[in-house]
Amino acid sequence: MPLSPYRGRRELLSGEELTAVVDGVDARAVDALWVVGGEAGGVSLRDGYRMNLPPGAVAAFESAPRAERRRLIAQSSGLEPGDLPYLGGKRAALGDLPLIVNSVGLAGLENLRVPQRRCGGEILDHAAFVSVREGRSSALLDRSGIPHTVAPDLVHTIRFDRRRFSEAVDGEAAPYALVQFSSASVRGLSPHQIADALANANALRAYEIVFFSAGDAPGHDDRSLYREVAARLTQLDPGRRARVSVSGGVDDRVSEIAGASLIVGTSLHVMILSLAFDVPHVGLLLQKISTYGRYWGDSSSYGVDFRGLDEAITLSTTPDRVRQNSDLADLLAMRAQENVILAMRALRVPRQSSKNASIRRLPARPMSVRQRLGLSVHRLRNPLV
């Protein structure tokens, strides 16, 4: 059954109200807890609550007295300050319930306060299986004495089902480029500046530009900003085709990614889906997607600002790079699938806890891309392998 760290949240596809993690665990309604995806380690109880608020409610929450904010968070989550909502809350509440932490980013733990880092160390040391998706998280766990695997993000496995989404694509439609950016990533840039930069990217002229929303939480994509940028683009060039996507459901959004000829964006999962569907892609601005893409050997351009779009698109759409990424997509999907199988096996194997596990801040040891691809799900200090 799907669970949410906060009460009153609804399941994305069905719209049904979700059971909160703390309620599901307390009622023993689940036999195991599986945490998957996202920057699970770096999200505090307060930040998670803010991300789940409707956009119009964030300002009211922030202006409330501290005691009222704490009351609202506790009422919604059933947790206390220092607990980690996206890692199951706290170790004591989990009891002997098996915990799988799969395909997550945990590096953000080292930026949290000491009580939260201690909470994270206790939870991860209790977990039956821990899998992270990039080197910085792995290095943090290595030096903290916490057994884990390193494997590509679980979303890569959608490649095995890509035919279903590709069949929904209109083969007669004009080629389009999806452009996506979170409002937080372009803070300080006006709609006119963004539109001017897109207009100056000659490599985009071959495509209809479709502004695509990857997420609607505060700080994610802003459709009103997209509309302003699209309007400015058509003002600069009346013959330019630019519109804002109306896709809302998960399947519709994934199909729109599958049918694109090019994708430019700041969302890690949009980049992963682009790779899975053999769509050339360019990672905009953010270090997070640049770190992930380079770690797993994606040959696309990452960490690009708007001024460098033209060159980045040209490089990412060359036949050699598209072919290399297609081969890589097969390998990453297989690695991610193997990792899920390991996680399932872990539920049947007693876990040996580490002594004195704690989250520590120390320099990491580098690893080559070849080692990551060849050894990613086998580099374990774990009784499974």
Say what percent of the chain tops pLDDT 70: 87
Of 47-51, 91-95, 227-231, which has the strongest mean pLDDT? 227-231
User: How many separate domains does the chain show?
Assistant: 2
Residue 190 has pLDDT above 90, yes or no: yes
Q: Which two tokens stand for residue 361?
A: 């801040």
Residue 14 lies in a domain: yes
Residues 135 and 176 both lie in one domain: no
Angle between helices 135-144 and 287-295 (to 10 degrees): 80
Residues 360 and 254 both lie in one domain: no
Separation CA 107–CA 42 (nearest Å): 7
Residue 362 lies in a domain: yes
Q: Output the DSSP codes for 282-342.
A: EEES-HHHHHHHHHTT--SEEEE-GGGHHHHHHHHTSHHHHHHHHHHHHHHHHHHHHHHHH
Residues 78 and 221 both lie in one domain: no
Residues 61 and 168 both lie in one domain: no
Residues 89 and 127 both lie in one domain: yes
Domain of residue 46, residue span = 3-147+354-375
Residues 113 and 244 both lie in one domain: no
Per-residue pLDDT, 379: 39
| pLDDT band of 362, cuts 50, 70, 90 | very low
Residues 168 and 313 both lie in one domain: yes
E runs forming strands in the chain = 3-4, 19-20, 33-36, 99-104, 129-132, 149-150, 176-179, 208-211, 242-244, 262-265, 281-284, 301-304
The whole-number average pLDDT for the span 202-207 is 92
Residue 342 lies in a domain: no
Separation CA 359–CA 356 (nearest Å): 10
| pLDDT band of 57, cuts 50, 70, 90 | confident
Separation CA 271–CA 188 (nearest Å): 24
pTM (global) more than 0.95: no
Residues 169 and 123 both lie in one domain: no
Closest by Cα among 373, 284, 289, 367 to 324: 373
Which region among 133-137, 217-221, 311-315 has the lowest average model confidence (pLDDT)? 217-221
Separation CA 297–CA 113 (nearest Å): 33
Residues 225 and 314 both lie in one domain: yes
Residues 104 and 228 both lie in one domain: no
Of 89-98, 206-215, 218-227, which has the strongest mean pLDDT? 206-215
Residue 350 has pLDDT above 90, yes or no: no
Residue 170 lies in a domain: yes
Residue 120 lies in a domain: yes
Residues 230 and 81 both lie in one domain: no
| pLDDT band of 374, cuts 50, 70, 90 | low
Residues 296 and 177 both lie in one domain: yes
